[in-house]
């Protein structure tokens, strides 16, 4: 029995040594508590992709752990973006992008995912991709073939014939439509089931017209209440979240009543509908940066004049309503529409969120704990023991200068250092 106990003891010591050898101690200047805004000094030991210990002088008790000194660096949880489009070339918009295959889009997605991760965004939600290319990218990242953020993906977005989520650039001779087009409650349910079958984590549908689609009105509601309810019911039955693209007020209101989990854009939301969103627990993902990029660079990238004209109306009103939503205490998450502008520039939105009513801490919370709640993730969004080791570092104090987040110096995803 003593011999057996000795063998077990030696085995456990061996396993402990092996685990210790894989551990890393991060030694920054300070750590940001995103719940309280407190900046404090501590070391962080990371093991097996998790934050295992926090405290002072960790090396004393964990002698085999590698120490990474980060002088002048503030560590904080990895950022999250609830609205990105990783597929495709951001340089090719409008008719310039018609010739791009889904295979080529996926290859661009590999590059875009890497740029997004290196910018400090360790978890993102891809809302709309043809041919389930976002599912393929997610699987490649999860299998370690390429690097990128943790992905939640929707597959093809659902839309009505001729709506924002349809393909409207070609004339009728081509009889072309997007693969997510549905025109009845039962067609909608079938598409939700198909998206789930082929690997989607969530469902996105277009509840109104859009800025960048040809011949759609941003104020026009798309889908009836019954169709929206069918989408939401079918998705929720399978444990899938639902995101609704919606600019116009009636589409926003109807989507909230139908039970969606988040409204994307929410440009023309009014005070009463902000209160409705609060009552129903609906998150708002308002992309308040992208308008400046569209109006400044869009024409050169091939965006149609029709779309530019729509954006001239939408952009400022959306920002004004963002401010109202923040003041009213709405649950605003971080969503940028990256892919309209270059991937890896997502953090430009922080400054706009602060300029239009948020404190720096609120903006950071939107991109961490608030978006983690939307994603139903209970172990990310904060630096705490037993949380996932998704950690980023920036020189200086982002609470004093939110634009510092546009230049991330250190990125760790699931315990692996990917930058520098």
Strand order in the sheet with 283-285: 202-206, 241-246, 262-265, 283-285, 332-333
Question: Residue written as tokens 């396993």?
Answer: 15
Cα distances (Å, whole numbers) of residue 106 to 90, 290, 377: 13, 23, 26
Cα distances (Å, whole numbers) of residue 279 to 259, 263, 408: 11, 14, 36
Q: What is the pLDDT of residue 88?
A: 74
Q: What is the pLDDT of residue 304?
A: 92
Share of the chain above pLDDT 90, in %: 87
CATH 3.30.390.30 is the classification of domain 79-374? no
Q: What is the pLDDT of residue 19?
A: 36
Helix axis angle for 249-258 and 225-237, nearest 10°, is: 40
pTM: 0.93
Question: In this structure, are residues 412 and 388 in contact, taking their beta carbons and an 8 Å threshold?
Answer: no
Q: Report the pLDDT averaged over residues 116-142.
A: 98
What are the residue ranges spanned by the domains of the chain?
Answer: 2-77+383-419, 79-374
Question: Residue written as tokens 């991760």?
Answer: 117
Q: What number of H helices and E strands is found in the chain?
A: 13, 16
Q: What is the pLDDT of residue 184?
A: 98
Question: In this structure, are residues 211 and 220 in contact, taking their beta carbons and an 8 Å threshold?
Answer: no
Give 17's pLDDT tier (boundaries 50, 70, 90): very low
Share of the chain above pLDDT 70, in %: 94
Q: What is the pLDDT of residue 48?
A: 96
pLDDT surpasses 70 at 11: no
pLDDT surpasses 60 at 225: yes
Alpha carbon 346 to its chain's center = 10
Interatomic CA distance for residues 120 and 391, integer angstroms: 8
In terms of Cβ atoms closer than 10 Å to its own Cβ (0-12, 13-18, 19+), residue 409 is middle
Q: What is the pLDDT of residue 101?
A: 87
pLDDT tens digits, 386-396: 999 999 999 99
Q: Report the pLDDT averaged over residues 26-48.
A: 98
pLDDT surpasses 60 at 14: no
Q: Please, what sign has the CA dihedral across residues 343, 202, 376, 352?
A: positive
Give 15's pLDDT tier (boundaries 50, 70, 90): very low
pLDDT tens digits, 307-350: 999 999 999 999 999 999 999 999 999 999 999 999 999 999 99
Interatomic CA distance for residues 179 and 197, integer angstroms: 15
CA angle 79, 85, 90 (to 5 degrees): 110
- Tell me which of 52-56, 298-302, 319-323, 400-404 is least confident: 298-302
Q: Is 128 helix (H, G, I), strand (E, B) or coil?
A: coil
- Tell me which of 18-32, 292-306, 394-408 is least confident: 18-32
Q: What is the pLDDT of residue 4?
A: 40
Residue closest to 333 by CA, chosen among 310, 313, 299, 358: 358
In terms of Cβ atoms closer than 10 Å to its own Cβ (0-12, 13-18, 19+), residue 224 is middle
Interatomic CA distance for residues 155 and 136, integer angstroms: 10
Q: What is the pLDDT of residue 314?
A: 97
pLDDT surpasses 80 at 5: no
pLDDT tens digits, 238-279: 999 999 999 999 999 999 999 999 999 999 999 999 999 999
pLDDT surpasses 50 at 7: no
Cα distances (Å, whole numbers) of residue 103 to 15, 75, 147, 167: 44, 37, 18, 18
Backbone angles phi, psi at 153, to 5 degrees: -130, 150
Give 2's pLDDT tier (boundaries 50, 70, 90): very low
Q: Please, what sign has the CA dihedral across residues 415, 337, 361, 276?
A: negative
Q: Which two tokens stand for residue 344?
A: 């890896």
Half-sphere exposure of 325 (CA within 13 A, CB side): 32
pLDDT tens digits, 139-189: 999 999 999 999 999 999 999 999 999 887 778 887 777 899 999 999 999
Q: What is the DSSP string of 201-261?
A: SEEEEESB--SSSTT--TTSB-S-HHHHHHHHHHHHHTT-EEEEEE-SHHHHHHHHHHT-S
| The CATH number, out of the four listed (3.40.50.300, 2.30.40.10, 3.30.420.40, 1.20.120.1200), of the domain defined by the range 2-77+383-419 | 2.30.40.10
Q: Do domains 2-77+383-419 and 79-374 have the same CATH topology?
A: no
Mean pLDDT over all residues of the chain?
93
pLDDT surpasses 70 at 16: no
Q: What is the pLDDT of residue 124?
A: 98
Interatomic CA distance for residues 355 and 414, integer angstroms: 33
Q: Are strands 202-206 and 241-246 parallel, antiparallel or unpaired?
A: parallel
Q: Is 409 helix (H, G, I), strand (E, B) or coil?
A: coil
């Amino acid at each position: 029995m003593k011999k057996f106990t000795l063998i077990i003891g030696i085995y456990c010591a061996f396993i402990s040594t092996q685990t210790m050898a894989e551990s890393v101690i991060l030694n920054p200047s300070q750590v940001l508590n995103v719940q309280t805004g407190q900046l404090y000094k501590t070391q962080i030991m990371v093991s097996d992709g998790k934050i295992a210990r926090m405290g002072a002088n960790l090396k004393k008790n964990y002698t085999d752990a590698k120490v990474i000194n980060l002088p002048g660096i503030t560590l904080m949880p990895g950022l999250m973006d609830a609205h990105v489009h990783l597929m495709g070339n951001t340089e090719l918009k409008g008719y310039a992008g018609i010739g791009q295959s889904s295979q080529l889009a996926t290859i661009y997605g590999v590059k875009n995912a890497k740029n997004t991760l290196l910018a400090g965004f360790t978890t993102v939600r891809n809302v709309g991709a043809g041919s389930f290319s976002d599912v393929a990218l997610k699987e490649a990242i999860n299998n370690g073939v390429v690097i990128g953020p943790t992905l939640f993906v929707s597959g093809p977005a659902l839309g009505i014939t001729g709506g924002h989520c349809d393909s409207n650039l070609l004339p009728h001779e081509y009889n072309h439509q997007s693969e997510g087009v549905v025109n009845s409650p039962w067609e909608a349910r079938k598409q939700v089931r198909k998206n789930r079958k082929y690997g989607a984590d969530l469902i996105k549908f277009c509840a109104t017209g859009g800025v960048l689609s040809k011949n759609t009105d941003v104020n026009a509601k798309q889908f009836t209440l019954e169709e929206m309810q069918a989408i939401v019911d079918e998705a929720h039955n399978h444990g899938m979240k639902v995101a609704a693209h919606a600019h116009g007020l009636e589409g926003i209101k109807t989507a909230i009543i139908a039970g969606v989990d988040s409204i994307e854009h929410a440009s023309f939301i009014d005070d009463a509908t902000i209160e409705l969103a609060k009552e129903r627990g609906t998150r708002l993902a308002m992309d308040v940066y992208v308008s400046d990029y569209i109006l400044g660079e869009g024409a050169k990238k091939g965006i149609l004049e029709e779309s530019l004209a729509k954006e001239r109306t939408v952009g400022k009103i959306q920002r004004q309503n963002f401010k109202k939503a923040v003041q009213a205490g709405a649950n605003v998450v971080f969503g940028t529409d990256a892919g309209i502008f270059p991937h890896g520039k997502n953090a430009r939105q922080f400054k706009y969120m602060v300029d239009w009513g948020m404190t720096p801490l609120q903006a950071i919370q939107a991109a961490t704990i608030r978006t983690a709640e939307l994603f139903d993730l209970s172990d990310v969004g904060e630096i705490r023991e037993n949380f996932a080791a998704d950690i980023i570092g920036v020189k200086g104090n982002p609470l004093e200068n939110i634009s510092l987040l546009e230049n991330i110096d250190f990125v760790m995803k699931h315990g692996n250092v990917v930058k520098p």
